[in-house]
Amino acid sequence: MSDSILVAYATRYGSTREVAEAIAATLRERGLEVDIQPMRQVQAVASYRAVVIGAPLYIGSFLKDARRFLSRHSEALATRPVAVFALGPTHGGEQELKGARPQLDKELAKFPWLKPVAAEMFGGRYDPASLRFPDSLLATLPASPLHGLPTSDARDWTAIRAWASDLAAKL
């Protein structure tokens, strides 16, 4: 096993990748050796001593890449420190973030063997102009919670870096 930490992320529009990059940079500043990769490119996690997993929530669930990653690497993930972060609410503040937390807990409950040393929810980014089908269609439906929402970036970089900095000691 190497001394490296793997930061593995899933993303559809890039905002989770940018958060993963900030977390990786903070861990490096704290003196840790870090590899960062999109989850779908990760071949094996057994060579890492700890793993940070990041994924956005889409319609109440982790992006599929993340669910696949957790299932495929369950054995290695169950036997080393794992931290999880999720991106979610793109509008509103602390209240909305708290309100979305049960979505993360519900996703984690699907993988009962996973005992994260830390699990955190961060605000996400929303840009209606960049949506691809079927998200673009969903956003136009009057009944959709996305309908009429303006562009927004709710990522709190100070909170993200503080979480990563605390993580350095836990991994």
Ligand X SMILES: Cc1cc2nc3c(=O)[nH]c(=O)nc-3n(C[C@H](O)[C@H](O)[C@H](O)COP(=O)(O)O)c2cc1C
Buried-exposed string 50-79: b where 16+ CB fall within 10 A, e elsewhere: bbbbbbbbbeeebbebbbebbeebeebbee
The nearer residue to ligand X, 16 or 26, going by C-beta atoms, is 16
> Least distance (Å) from ligand X to the CB of residue 147?
11
Query: Which residue of 6, 23, 77, 89 would you call a contact of ligand X, by CB under 6 A?
Result: 89
What residues contact 116, with CB distance under 8 A and at least 6 apart?
82, 83, 84, 108
Q: Is 85 in the site for ligand X (CB under 6 A)?
A: no
Q: Is 26 in the site for ligand X (CB under 6 A)?
A: no
Binding residues among 109-128 for ligand X as defined by CB under 6 A: 124-126
What residues contact 144, with CB distance under 8 A and at least 6 apart?
138
> Least distance (Å) from ligand X to the CB of residue 83?
17
Question: Is the CB of residue 23 less than 8 Å from the CB of residue 9?
Answer: no
Q: Is 135 in the site for ligand X (CB under 6 A)?
A: yes
Cα angle at 97 between 55 and 9, to 5 degrees? 10
Query: Which residue of 8, 24, 66, 100 would you call a contact of ligand X, by CB under 6 A?
Result: 100
Element (H, E) at 35: strand 34-38
The nearer residue to ligand X, 137 or 162, going by C-beta atoms, is 137
Question: Which residues bind to ligand X, rule: CB under 6 A?
Answer: 11-16, 56-60, 87-90, 100, 103, 124-126, 131, 135, 138, 146
